[in-house]
């Protein structure tokens, strides 16, 4: 997003109109330029009222992420080395991956208010309206972890659930390997991209997307599965994205410390408690075959345990998808 548009957004409020001529004077641009940037904000999904003779105001409050506030809230959480907040980017994961190859240190975090090409697992699009949700990626460089990296996305999933519970949002479940659901509707997702030896040294970019407030979002046709957001789950109570970001990074910091020391072993009971598929008949769809069975939780490597034809099979995430069998009913948490 252009700096002028961002400045305009920071000046506007829901309480009063701000005249186009005043904005033009402050920015030393024409009123036509102001109008064009207002239109740009509309394309990004920001709802702005315009009234001739009075100017512009926001239809509803917009809380922008505050880099200084977030980083200050992480004092004492030493795995987080830096926090960057971007107004727009194609993908926080892609951006941080490029930075990693340029020597970015471990613990670097990037947030973006908007993603033009947000990514989910298996190449899916992650829909990313401006200043509504959390789009965040963290770089972790690991060294000779004896626990491997295969179960890390599950540990991060638990960390996100813990964060939401700390925010007063209960009833969130986990769907292997990286979805957070409420009542069968997706509220958050995780995408890990790795380079190096999964059981030796390397780096991983941990991407997290959380639906905070999708109210009024017009392009819901771009979302291919049922979804919900935190505002709906909290019955329209105010949710600070800055506070959520701080709690999220604190929880991830602790999750990485624990994972490095203990892997998934101590987290298996917690995962099974949150697992929306546990004990249900499911279908595993792979690239070339399909398996049916009963989900029996996970093992210490992060593999899904599937009871099929009288034996336990271990399914690693890779390019497979997990869904309920047709006779299992709807997902519930």
**Active site residues per annotation:** 121, 186, 323
d(CA 198, CA 144): 9
d(CA 2, CA 289): 48
* Other beta carbons within 10 Å of 197: 13
Is the CA virtual torsion 258, 262, 264, 269 positive or negative? negative
Strand partners, 246: none
d(CA 93, CA 194): 11
* Other beta carbons within 10 Å of 53: 6
Helix H or strand E segment including 209: strand 201-210
**């004077």: which residue's tokens?**
25
* Burial class of residue 33, CB neighbours in 10 A (0-12, 13-18, 19+): middle
d(CA 57, CA 53): 13
Helix H or strand E segment including 255: helix 241-262
d(CA 228, CA 233): 8
The 8-class DSSP code of residue 138 comes to E
**């624990």: which residue's tokens?**
258
């Amino acid at each position: 997003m252009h700096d002028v548009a961002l400045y305009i957004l920071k000046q506007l409020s829901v309480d009063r109109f701000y005249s186009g001529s005043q904005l033009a004077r402050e920015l030393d641009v024409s009123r036509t330029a102001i109008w064009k940037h207002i239109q740009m904000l509309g394309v990004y999904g920001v709802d702005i009222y315009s009234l001739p003779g009075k100017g512009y105001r926001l239809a509803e409050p917009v809380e922008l992420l505050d880099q200084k506030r977030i980083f200050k809230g992480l004092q004492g959480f030493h795995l987080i080395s830096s926090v960057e907040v971007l107004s727009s980017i194609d993908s926080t994961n892609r951006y941080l991956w490029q930075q990693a190859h340029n020597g970015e240190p471990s613990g670097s975090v990037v947030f973006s208010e908007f993603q033009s090409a947000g990514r989910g697992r298996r190449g899916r699009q992650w829909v990313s309206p401006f200043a509504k949700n959390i789009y965040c990626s963290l770089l972790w460089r690991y060294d000779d972890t004896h626990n491997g990296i295969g179960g890390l996305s599950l540990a991060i999933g638990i960390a996100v659930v813990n964060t939401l519970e700390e925010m007063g949002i209960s009833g969130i479940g986990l769907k292997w390997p990286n979805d957070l659901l409420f009542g069968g509707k997706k509220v958050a997702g995780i995408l890990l991209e790795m380079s190096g030896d999964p059981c030796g040294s390397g780096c991983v970019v941990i991407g997290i997307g959380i639906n905070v407030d999708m109210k009024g979002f017009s392009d819901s046709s771009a979302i291919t599965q049922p979804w919900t957001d935190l505002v709906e789950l909290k019955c329209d109570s105010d949710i600070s994205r800055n506070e959520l970001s701080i709690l999220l990074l604190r929880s991830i910091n602790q999750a990485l410390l624990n994972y490095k020391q203990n892997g998934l072993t101590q987290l298996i009971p917690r995962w099974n408690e949150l697992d929306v598929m546990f004990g249900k008949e499911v279908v595993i769809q792979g690239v070339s075959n399909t398996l049916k069975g009963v989900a029996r939780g996970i093992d210490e490597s992060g593999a899904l345990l599937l009871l099929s034809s009288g034996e336990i099979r271990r399914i690693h995430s890779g390019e497979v998808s997990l869904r309920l069998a047709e006779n299992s009913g709807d997902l519930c948490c």
